[in-house]
């Protein structure tokens, strides 16, 4: 058979559901082990992201056309139907006849000839579905394709209207921001080189160091700009965390839970290469990515494999704790998070985060600052961790943030807190804690 993007998407998703690893990790491993053309890679990436994103709504549509419970379907057939229904109902650029014919042939080739007729019949029903028409009996979770418990949590925290706005935002293609390394290169030179590549961009929110790429991401990834560190891919809200840390020349700075090192490299830029920067992570695989990028860019960052909750560190002027978290603030770019999380994860993360903050506070010099940050929207992982720490440590206070980040991004507790739909950035929480 001739392999194409649909086949590759099927294989990636089959591995994803079988192994229960992160979708990006499964996909990256597949791309590493298989030689795909650029078109196949681009299309299979879209298909895998979107089918995982819309999994629950797709299942509702499929189930409405079955005469037996969807759970009794052959797993491979179920996956073919999800992919086929996504293309038939939600992807308006693909002709219906191409969708039906392609998935019928693929089903016969990769599963069994006997499934060809069933796939044909079900996909012909699929092309008649109005993707914008919501059945009044559907829950918000079924329609927006989220677990019901997650929707209910957000309604309690934000209210129903904001929750549905959030779900809409997370179901839309994520923005791609690029940080411009103006510490080492002239801004005008970087922008001129970007223009010559034919990249379409606009200014990112509240910054002259970030741009938002509207088209041409692939060109930038392959460019000399990225290779030599003139640009780095980083969400604007993630960059604001480093700006909150406010690294200075000549300091000793710790960046823990740092891999793959996007914030680490920005810290180094803002230190102007003067000082000592120690980056660490508990994961050897992720640490390798950070170390490799630093080596490629010839950045003298000392990367160490350490557990920030128990290990010892050198004394530091500033510490960034980019804490492990549930990642609910970045569901737009990591759609599988919604299915991989459990209610118990938030309290479990709180324990891990608290242990890290308590341990790392021992290695902060007097008058030094810790920035505690997550890409989570959940209070258990954010303010609850910080407030509990402050209650038990009266020699720490929250430091003013107003000189470092936009005042509109600061909440009533003097923390950076971003609600993604408002500023079109990742959901981010950060607070600057000073030792007195």
Tell me the pLDDT tens digit for each residue of 62-91. Answer: 999 998 889 899 999 999 999 999 999 999
Q: Region 230-251: what's the mean pLDDT?
A: 96
Indicate the pTM of the whole model. Answer: 0.94
SS3 assignment, position 208 = coil
Please tell me what DSSP assigns to residue 88: I
pLDDT in tens, 344-367: 999 999 999 999 999 999 999 999
Give every CB contact of residue 53 below 8 A, 6+ residues apart in sequence.
145, 171, 335
Q: Region 131-151: what's the mean pLDDT?
A: 96
Identify the pLDDT of residue 3: 63
Share of the chain above pLDDT 70, in %: 99
Identify the pLDDT of residue 94: 86
pLDDT in tens, 258-276: 999 999 999 999 999 899 9
Which alpha helices (H) appear in 20-133, and where do they start and end?
A: 23-33, 38-53, 55-63, 75-85, 96-110, 116-126
Identify the pLDDT of residue 1: 42
pLDDT band at 413, cuts 50/70/90? very high
Q: What phi, psi does 263 have (nearest 5°)?
A: -70, -35
pLDDT in tens, 196-238: 999 999 999 999 999 999 999 999 999 999 999 999 999 999 9
């Amino acid at each position: 058979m001739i392999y194409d993007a649909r086949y590759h998407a099927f294989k990636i998703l089959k591995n994803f559901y079988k192994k229960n690893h992160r979708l990006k990790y499964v996909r990256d491993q597949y791309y590493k082990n298989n030689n795909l053309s650029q078109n196949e890679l681009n299309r299979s990436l879209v298909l895998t992201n979107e089918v995982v994103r819309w999994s629950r709504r797709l299942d509702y549509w499929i189930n409405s056309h079955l005469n037996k419970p969807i759970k009794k379907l052959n797993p491979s057939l179920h996956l073919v139907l999800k992919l086929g229904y996504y293309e038939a109902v939600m992807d308006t650029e693909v002709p219906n006849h191409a969708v039906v014919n392609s998935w019928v042939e693929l089903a016969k080739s990769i599963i069994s000839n006997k499934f060809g007729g069933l796939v044909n019949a079900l996909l012909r029903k699929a092309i008649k579905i109005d993707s914008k028409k919501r059945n009044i009996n559907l829950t918000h979770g079924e329609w927006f394709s989220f677990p019901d418990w997650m929707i209910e949590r957000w309604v309690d925290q934000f209210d129903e209207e904001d929750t549905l706005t959030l779900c809409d935002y997370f179901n839309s293609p994520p923005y791609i921001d690029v940080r411009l390394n103006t510490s080492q290169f002239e801004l005008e030179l970087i922008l001129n080189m970007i223009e010559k590549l034919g990249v379409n961009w606009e200014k990112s929110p509240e910054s002259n160091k970030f741009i938002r790429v509207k088209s041409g991401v692939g060109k930038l990834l392959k460019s000399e700009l990225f290779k030599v560190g003139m640009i780095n891919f980083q969400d604007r809200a993630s960059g604001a965390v480093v700006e909150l840390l406010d690294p200075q020349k000549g300091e000793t700075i710790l960046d823990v839970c740092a891999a793959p090192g996007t914030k680490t490299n920005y810290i180094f830029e803002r230190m102007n290469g003067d000082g000592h920067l120690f980056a660490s992570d508990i994961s050897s695989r992720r640490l390798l990515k950070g170390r490799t990028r630093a080596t490629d860019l010839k950045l003298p960052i000392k990367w160490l494999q350490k557990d920030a909750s128990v290990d010892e560190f050198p004394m530091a002027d500033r510490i960034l704790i980019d804490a492990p978290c549930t990642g609910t603030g970045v569901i737009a770019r990591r759609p599988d998070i919604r299915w991989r999380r459990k209610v118990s994860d938030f309290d479990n993360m709180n324990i891990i985060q608290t242990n890290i903050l308590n341990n790392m506070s021992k290695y902060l010099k007097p008058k030094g600052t810790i920035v505690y940050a997550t890409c989570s929207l959940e209070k258990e992982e954010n303010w609850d961790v910080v407030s509990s720490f402050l209650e038990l440590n009266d020699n720490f206070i929250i430091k003013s943030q107003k000189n470092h980040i936009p005042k509109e991004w600061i909440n009533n507790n003097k923390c950076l807190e971003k609600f993604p739909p408002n500023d079109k950035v990742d959901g981010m929480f950060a607070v600057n804690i000073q030792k007195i």
